[in-house]
Structure 1
């Protein structure tokens, strides 16, 4: 079985074996082959290459899987087994435990109170939550009052009281709590067990109970504590955050405990602060949670890596939460540098001007952020609208024109000699190829590692971030790719300087003439004429423009890199080194940088994976893939058809043959197709994720 694709396999104009021999090109992509489809000398190395590629891919995925830590499953602590009556035991029913016979609730309360009335108030017990029970319901192991009272040194509690026999839910929660781990039993909190009245949600009672062991840590003086004492039912007490019985273990420096503690604090804050009605009722900032999850801190927390960023409690505190106007508050002007300095030790007064809960949706509250977002949104909409319309119009015209020519058996310009149509000519230098390859790989890396952060709330974000090795690894890859981007941008600037001042061109033009000459990527008046001519061609109003070495859309792509390096690069550096930039800039500049970096990155990725992919690969005359950027060569018929002005100029200068190249080797073809289709697939995958988020 074989799939042996050729660009041209016959000439409909001249039926000649000699001519067809020249037009029978090498394969552009080999999937499988039989004995006659490829020269024998190429079979073995290509088989070895494919096997090596598959083996390397398998080993890479295996190592990535092996390097991903598997969370240890920690079984919850289990209570020590104790004897207890059957759950179904009824009053007067006898049962046997450990060879001894017992009778459930067979002893009257009056018999017990004859001795214990000095400690237990019969009236209060009757009015308590346990008043309907018999003493023998809990102290079931006492079967004979006479033996119990007359035996010297008798043990009243032969077996411990098992509260969870009746309170199953509370018991299960307690056995999974920090209290049980630290050997704190029911009786340690419920000391008034014999006269305990029903709990009706009294928050003050909870606080009083908890503070018998725990210092209040400033809770009673905090905003929450004062509100509880004032009788506000919405304000949290200890149990609203920590629970009544299933109290989580929060102390410890182990990584898992640290991560759980961060998740816990943020989760308990969200319980109330994510309730819009409750916040409005108490006149509290209603978009605190929304704005937090729009920040870098919140996005990383949302993706499942809270230990890497600041959560609610890291900035606001745990118990002593005070308003910013209070000098003792962690977020007061007097203490902000100290608070932020826990994570950003080089932060200064400029740095803390960063707005933690900024919103770009409220022009009254944050007008600068609002208008920055409006301008960036307008830029996105205008660029996509213009170029997507350009794409649709081009596809329509190109599709029908190519279809009509192929229906007539015309596969290349008729004025190209058939025996020369397959001659290869240099389009890109080795420097161009390396520069573009570096740009392509780093751009893909930046997009893949940035998408989960941009759309942290998307259903696919956590999975993609986990696949990339987690937020810390993704951040490292993102920064390495960004650093390489600055390096190749510097190389491009150096080449521009070389081109303008040192490179020799026919006619010895000066730097100004070079800048606006046909070999330059700088826009010139002819590009305006070409745009108008292209639109007329789209609408069947005129012929297709005659392009030179660079088209107007290629120049736009090139110049977009300069804008991208300014917008994305500068804003990215600010977010990478915030303390350094805040030595001389106010912190709210970082909020603006976040908006610009996020939206401009979306514009760049959306443009490259739709417009650029179409212009280069997906238009009907190129579909499905143009390998020229990998091989650096294009056939003569493409040079004549797509860049006739350059072809004429090279002929006039008698330089055409100096651009003549050999056909790419099988290795070059194989590498071009594997890498090219892989990059196209990743790009389309990214566009799918973006479309899912916007349309889903």
Structure 2
């Protein structure tokens, strides 16, 4: 019974096979199959006809012809205008070939040629593969010095296929879902494709297959600056796209990947892009988070990319560029669109204004750091030398200053609160700003991740800036309030006096610098280098304290205003020109570095690390110093208060700074100092 059923199935299969494939038959040359109506010939017969003057046409796909080479004298006929390549004489002998015995392109084309009236048409059915294997010569075009294959070019062991999961097409559930051969197969005629080891990883094969499905994208690419490029290494589909990215790859990290791919060719542009907020955020965003900042293609387009001087470009000056900017920055106008997106400030010829701004800031950094490094080093040496020379007197003076029970008020409770929030916001700005400035440092990514990524760090930065702004404006309000309250001090005979105003403005109780500060500076340097025996005495405010104070106003003006412009670029661009917006990035970044470096190196030394103050000067937390400290360091202020009879007004009647509070604020103070020193170490590490 089983044999009967088997015989019936075989008979049925043969019957339907003969009905469904009438155009195929066994070849007399021993080939697998040829199209009915075509005359197949052997290689030897083809060589004979060619020697007699037959026309030889290569029907292979272009990538096959490029890879295998071609028979000398053959004409590539697998093109759009193939009819124009045929001889005028319809009696001419024509020989066609393609890849091998299973390739039908040459046979199909032979039928079409016969329909045009040509009588002597033959197909070398074994194709170029057998021609080469039989030792016959071929002509190969000089190979370009570019990578022709994806990965190693070995289909079986391709290094590019980390995961065979198709992360793009696998998300398609309906319609014509592509298979492996849809992308990696070579056209062999009959509407069929075949995967062959030599061509499956060939870029030209895959690129051509991409265009069969993505026709609109192919047209856009063809008309783009990439498509029109005459360079052999101009990017094609496979240079920017790949589907085998693994099952964990998705649109979440596609932006970051696309920027990396663009940067492989546009290395300089990519390095400059990373100097912008967009680039730094792109670099610092973790792979498992979706980034929202602009990637290369958001501004320059995807397939239809054109040079900026092309009216079709998305970044062409005028309406196109404005529309591109406004797609992410609603309300952006012409000035905003003219802001330089990724400039090179070191290039003075191309960006003269930004270059000048960079030179100015670098000069300021060198001057300030250079001066205070010398100042601090000499001061440190002089203090240590004095301590070593007079150890007994040093110890007695320090103990006497700290043990004095008479306390003098130096800062109000409001001042102490202001300083605490100023320090906290300053550290917050440093914590959120440093990893963005030094985005390539080893420590940058970890700090950014702690804040939830670049956007989280930006919010952290903005909150810290708001706190610092509140502190700054609260101080301005305080200054205005105190000035109004004491306005009678600048009146003479009941009238406002400019002379008295300037006297008070630059007087010893003011934080404004005056000529005495320069004299104090000169005397201090004399002491540093041993030209005077004792350290000079200072009034209520020293020259370095005034420098710290003025630096806050300079810094708030420079960092604060540029920060606002960068925070609200659309609104700022309605007020200031584009070139000034370009300078904002430079000034904001470099001035922030100046502020951080100065505070962590010099301010900490002036207030806490001097040998006569170490381990910490608690005056900013207690708001008071002892009378003995005042006598030792600020004799002019002490004598002035005594002479005027105002000394008792500054004496603290009830000391609220208990030992417990002192211990608490010591811990807080050192937490601030240690954090600042860590930031300083990170800055130094970023450069070395």
Give yes or no for TM over 0.5.
Answer: yes
Name structure 1 gaps, 5 residues minimum: 1-108, 134-163, 251-255, 275-286
TM-score when normalising by structure 1: 0.71
Distance 1:403 1:636, change over 3 A: farther
| Residue 594 of structure 1, aligned match among 571, 585, 594 | 585
Aligned to 1:378: 363
Q: Give 1:583 deviation, angstroms.
A: 1.1
Whole-angstrom CA distance in 1 between matches of 2:635 and 2:383:
17
Aligned to 1:679: 672
Q: Give 1:122 deviation, angstroms.
A: 2.1
Paired residues for 1:567-646 under 5 Å: 567-646=558-637
SS across alignment from 2:252:
helix
Aligned to 2:182: 188
Whole-angstrom CA distance in 2 between matches of 1:449 and 1:197:
52
Whole-angstrom CA distance in 2 between matches of 1:195 and 1:303:
41
Aligned to 1:423: 406
Aligned to 2:223: 221
Aligned to 1:47: none
Deviation string for 1:317-351 (max 9, x for gaps)?
11111111221111112300111111101100111
| Residue 519 of structure 2, aligned match among 509, 512, 529 | 529
| Residue 289 of structure 1, aligned match among 270, 277, 296 | 270
| Residue 412 of structure 1, aligned match among 384, 397, 412 | 397
Contact 1:341 1:347 in 2 (8 A): yes
Distance 1:175 1:466, change over 3 A: closer
Whole-angstrom CA distance in 2 between matches of 1:485 and 1:340:
31
Deviation string for 1:479-533 (max 9, x for gaps)?
1221222222122222222333323899999543321222111112211111111
Aligned to 2:297: 313
Whole-angstrom CA distance in 2 between matches of 1:318 and 1:511:
65
Distance 1:132 1:624, change over 3 A: farther
SS across alignment from 1:122:
coil
Contact 1:426 1:660 in 2 (8 A): yes
Distance 1:649 1:460, change over 3 A: same
Distance 1:165 1:549, change over 3 A: closer
* 2:546 corresponds to 1:558: no
Aligned to 2:682: 689
Aligned to 1:493: 476
SS across alignment from 1:603:
helix
Distance 1:205 1:552, change over 3 A: same
Aligned to 1:253: none
Q: Give 1:379 deviation, angstroms.
A: 0.4
Q: Give 1:289 deviation, angstroms.
A: 1.5
Contact 1:413 1:640 in 2 (8 A): no
* 2:632 corresponds to 1:649: no
Whole-angstrom CA distance in 1 between matches of 2:656 and 2:617:
15
Contact 2:387 2:394 in 1 (8 A): no
Distance 1:657 1:235, change over 3 A: same
> Is the radius of gyration larger for structure 1 or structure 2?
2
Whole-angstrom CA distance in 2 between matches of 1:112 and 1:175:
43
Name structure 2 gaps, 5 residues minimum: 1-25, 37-98, 104-124, 134-153, 493-499
Q: Give 1:265 deviation, angstroms.
A: 1.3
SS across alignment from 2:507:
coil
Whole-angstrom CA distance in 2 between matches of 1:376 and 1:617:
28
Q: Give 1:272 deviation, angstroms.
A: 1.3
The more displaced of 490-499 and 446-455 is 490-499
| Residue 449 of structure 2, aligned match among 450, 453, 466 | 466
* 2:397 corresponds to 1:449: no
| Residue 351 of structure 2, aligned match among 366, 369, 376 | 366
Contact 2:607 2:613 in 1 (8 A): yes
Whole-angstrom CA distance in 2 between matches of 1:194 and 1:647:
98
Deviation string for 1:198-248 (max 9, x for gaps)?
449976554332111112421110111122xx4x221011111113x6267
Whole-angstrom CA distance in 2 between matches of 1:128 and 1:264:
40
Contact 2:167 2:245 in 1 (8 A): yes
TM-score when normalising by structure 2: 0.71
Using CA pairs below 8 Å that are at least 6 residues apart, which structure has the higher relative contact order? Answer: 1
Contact 2:284 2:448 in 1 (8 A): yes
SS across alignment from 2:330:
coil
Aligned to 1:390: 375
Paired residues for 1:249-398 under 5 Å: 257-274=250-267, 287-304=268-285, 307-333=291-317, 334-398=319-383
Whole-angstrom CA distance in 1 between matches of 2:213 and 2:563:
49
Q: Give 1:110 deviation, angstroms.
A: 9.4
Whole-angstrom CA distance in 1 between matches of 2:304 and 2:602:
54
SS across alignment from 1:634:
strand
